[in-house]
């Protein structure tokens, strides 16, 4: 029997290259570093599903398409999400396989290209809010927006980025096979980049749509559908804070679901930073999850033991 089933949501920025002159090599390096913190959970017998963001990667892929549209066939955003889910899943899968081999752990790893059902009439599709791609100065971003027809917004205090539609995930099309693989003691990488957004047409057939689903919302939904006990959301800070970067900043150790909801409604967690993570945590707990941890990936083991990170628990 497993100790517990968990979903680990790795932020796309954790896997983003830091060396633009060696884009793939640098991404592999950061992926290997990131998965180091996951191995102790596997050694403890956890049933592990891994999700990941792809905002920087899909933004670069989309920019590449736009800058070569006069020379090469265009690739729509929905297909680029599938492309990055495959390429990033491959990097995570291979890095895990190698690390597990070094540890003498004979646990199979599988990447599932995951379709995620959305409502084609979701108003979020016409109100772009999901940040993708590189950071720019305001001047650079507005120049690119004018040249390419982008919508750009300021991403907290980190700079300006492109935004695209981000519909709410309704269902995970591949949920049964993901659960079956986990039940058979495999590690599964799924819902990468929030999954590939699809909707049902008038014939009840799946059809792709150009959007990017928030990976934390998709991770929470996946966790509920596969019976996960806990959801771990990896981010750039060790703990969630009230009044972030203000003189009266207060780091949070353990809060209840109701407290999280209260703080969210009071505006402590903006949409462009901690807001989607906190909404996802509340959704996961309301639908049967037992605990959510939000922390930096290198603090995950300590956070599970209550020594770091922010835990959100049932009331």
Q: Whose CA is closest to 61, among 89, 87, 80?
A: 80
Tell me the C-alpha distance between 148 and 284, whole Å: 37
Tell me the C-alpha distance between 9 and 29, whole Å: 19
Which bin fits 303, alpha (ψ -120 to 50), beta or left (φ > 0)? alpha
Q: Which residues are annotated as catalytic?
A: 12-13, 130, 215, 277
DSSP state for residue 167 in the 8-state scheme:
P
Residues 6+ apart with CB under 8 A from 234: 8, 9, 10, 11, 14, 34, 295, 296, 297, 300
Q: Whose CA is closest to 53, among 85, 92, 5, 83?
A: 85
Tell me the C-alpha distance between 176 and 151, whole Å: 37
Residues 6+ apart with CB under 8 A from 174: 112, 113, 114, 115, 190
Phi, psi torsion values for 171, nearest 5 degrees:
-155, 155
Tell me the C-alpha distance between 131 and 249, whole Å: 25
β-strands 241-242, 160-164: how paired?
Answer: unpaired
Tell me the C-alpha distance between 213 and 55, whole Å: 10
Q: What count of residues does the chain have?
A: 315
Q: Whose CA is closest to 114, among 52, 186, 175, 53?
A: 175
């Amino acid at each position: 029997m497993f100790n517990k089933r968990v979903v680990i949501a790795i932020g796309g920025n954790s896997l983003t290259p830091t060396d633009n002159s060696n884009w793939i090599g640098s991404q592999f390096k950061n992926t290997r570093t990131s998965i180091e913190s996951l191995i102790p959970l596997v050694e403890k017998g956890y049933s592990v599903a891994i999700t990941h963001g792809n905002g920087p990667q899909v933004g670069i892929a989309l920019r590449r398409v736009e800058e070569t549209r006069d020379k090469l066939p265009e690739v729509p955003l929905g297909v680029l999400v599938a492309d990055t889910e495959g390429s990033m899943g491959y990097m995570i899968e291979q890095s895990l396989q190698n690390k597990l081999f070094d540890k003498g752990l004979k646990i199979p790893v599988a990447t599932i290209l995951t379709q995620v059902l959305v409502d084609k009439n979701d108003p979020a599709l016409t109100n772009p809010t999901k940040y993708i791609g590189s950071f720019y100065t305001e001047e650079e971003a507005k120049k690119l927006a004018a040249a390419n027809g982008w919508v750009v917004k300021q991403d907290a205090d980190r700079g300006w980025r492109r935004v695209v539609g981000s519909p709410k995930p309704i269902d995970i099309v591949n949920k049964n096979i993901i659960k079956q693989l986990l039940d058979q003691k495999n590690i599964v990488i799924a819902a990468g980049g929030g999954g590939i957004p699809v909707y049902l047409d008038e014939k009840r057939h799946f059809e792709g749509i150009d959007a990017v689903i928030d990976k934390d919302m998709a991770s929470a939904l996946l966790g509920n559908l596969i019976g996960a006990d806990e959801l771990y959301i990896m981010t750039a800070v060790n703990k969630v804070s009230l009044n972030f970067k203000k003189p009266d900043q207060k780091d949070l150790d353990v809060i209840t679901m109701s407290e999280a909801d209260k703080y969210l409604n009071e505006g402590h967690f903006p949409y462009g930073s901690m807001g989607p993570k906190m909404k996802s945590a509340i959704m996961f707990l309301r639908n049967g999850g037992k605990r959510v941890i939000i922390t930096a990936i290198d603090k995950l083991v300590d956070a599970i033991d209550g020594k770091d990170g922010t835990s959100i628990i049932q009331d």
